């Protein structure tokens, strides 16, 4: 299997909403974003799929070394082999990949965030930096587009966090800030058990959890609005793939807001056909 085939398979297998936006890109840009996205998936999988923290640390250390080798002209992994020929063309730097690894390192070192500023640091590494690279690949011409990309990355990550409350709880992780749990009187142990404790008032838990999630969903929706307001008109056409992803993710967020209890027991998602339709509408109309 060629490096290009490998990254294509990695991206497609993820089932991510991002994949649908890639479909509308010209071949070289599509190849670059697919290779970069495959790198992000590889590193993220280290944290999500390796149960032994020591082994995960070793794997992340290997990826740091691999980034160094790649920028010295000696990539050994199919992902970096696919990415490196395109990196200079689209301004992809080693610091971008190392930042993503650093964000995944945070997942190994902490499973709680005290407040939103602490969570934002994590989001910047695993999503804001990804947005910055994506904006370059899509065809950024205005420096101000980087601010838009960082803000949009934050919106995407906030959406992921509310979608994955239940899945993260099964891994012992809670990304919702502790001070916000306290504000809405939702206990960490309730999230980890994905519901009210046996013998406690289930209706009361649902009321508190719904209020917490309404706050989380509204902040994410506000972040999308802030991001879109930052996008310079000069780059609006080039950044269509990001707008496609925003359309898909905002729609998903509205689905979660309508039934927030569902995230505790299942992964809320849109059908592939609906994702493709939302992406196509942005491609055809040029706006969300």
Mean pLDDT, the chain, rounded, equals: 92
User: Over the stretch 37-91, which tens digit does the pLDDT of each residue have?
Assistant: 999 999 999 888 777 888 999 999 999 999 999 999 999 999 999 999 999 999 9
Measure the CA–CA gap between 256 and 242, rounded to whole angstroms.
Answer: 21
Measure the CA–CA gap between 169 and 216, rounded to whole angstroms.
Answer: 16
In the chain, where are the structural domains located?
1-109, 118-287
CATH topology of domain 1-109: Farnesyl Diphosphate Synthase (1.10.600)
pLDDT average, residue stretch 116-142? 96
- Tell whether the model's pLDDT for residue 15 goes beyond 70: no
Residue 167 near residue 191 (C-beta atoms within 8 A): no
- Tell whether the model's pLDDT for residue 176 goes beyond 90: yes
CA 97 to chain CA mean position, Å? 14
What pLDDT is attached to residue 2? Answer: 93
- The answer to whether 1-109 and 118-287 have equal CATH topology is yes
What pLDDT is attached to residue 288? Answer: 66
Q: Return the percentage of the chain with pLDDT > 70, whole number.
A: 98
What pLDDT is attached to residue 125? Answer: 95
CA 56 to chain CA mean position, Å? 20
pTM of the model: 0.92
Does the domain formed by 118-287 have CATH 1.10.600.10?
Answer: yes
What pLDDT is attached to residue 51? Answer: 76
Measure the CA–CA gap between 131 and 149, rounded to whole angstroms.
Answer: 5
Residue 59 near residue 46 (C-beta atoms within 8 A): yes
pLDDT average, residue stretch 243-250? 94
What pLDDT is attached to residue 159? Answer: 97
What pLDDT is attached to residue 62? Answer: 96
CB neighbours of 223 closer than 8 A, spacing ≥ 6?
151, 154, 155, 158
């Amino acid at each position: 299997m060629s490096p290009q085939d490998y990254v294509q398979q990695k991206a497609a297998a993820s089932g991510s909403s991002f994949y649908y936006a890639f479909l509308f890109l010209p071949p070289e840009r599509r190849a670059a974003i697919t290779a970069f996205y495959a790198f992000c998936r590889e590193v993220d999988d280290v944290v999500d799929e390796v149960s032994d923290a020591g082994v995960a640390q070793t794997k992340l250390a290997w990826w740091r070394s691999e980034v160094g080798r790649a920028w010295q002209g000696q990539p050994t992994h199919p992902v970096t082999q696919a990415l490196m020929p395109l990196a200079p063309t689209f301004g992809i730097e080693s610091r971008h990949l190392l930042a993503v690894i650093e964000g995944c390192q945070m997942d190994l070192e902490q499973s709680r965030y005290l407040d939103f500023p602490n969570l934002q640091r994590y989001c910047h590494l695993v999503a804001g930096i990804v947005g910055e690279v994506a904006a370059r690949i899509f065809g950024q011409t205005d420096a101000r587009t980087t601010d838009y990309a960082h803000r949009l990355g934050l919106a995407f990550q906030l959406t992921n966090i509310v979608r994955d409350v239940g899945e993260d709880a099964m891994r012992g992780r809670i990304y919702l800030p502790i001070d916000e749990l306290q504000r809405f009187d939702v206990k960490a142990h309730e999230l980890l058990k994905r519901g009210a404790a046996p013998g406690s008032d289930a209706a009361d838990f649902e009321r508190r959890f719904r209020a917490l999630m309404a706050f989380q969903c509204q902040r994410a929706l506000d972040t999308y609005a802030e991001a879109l307001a930052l996008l310079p008109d000069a780059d609006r056409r080039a950044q269509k793939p990001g707008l496609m992803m925003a359309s898909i993710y905002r729609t998903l967020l509205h689905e979660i807001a309508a039934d927030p209890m569902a995230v505790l027991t299942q992964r809320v998602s849109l059908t592939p056909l609906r994702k493709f339709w939302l992406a196509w509408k942005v491609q055809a109309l040029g706006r969300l």
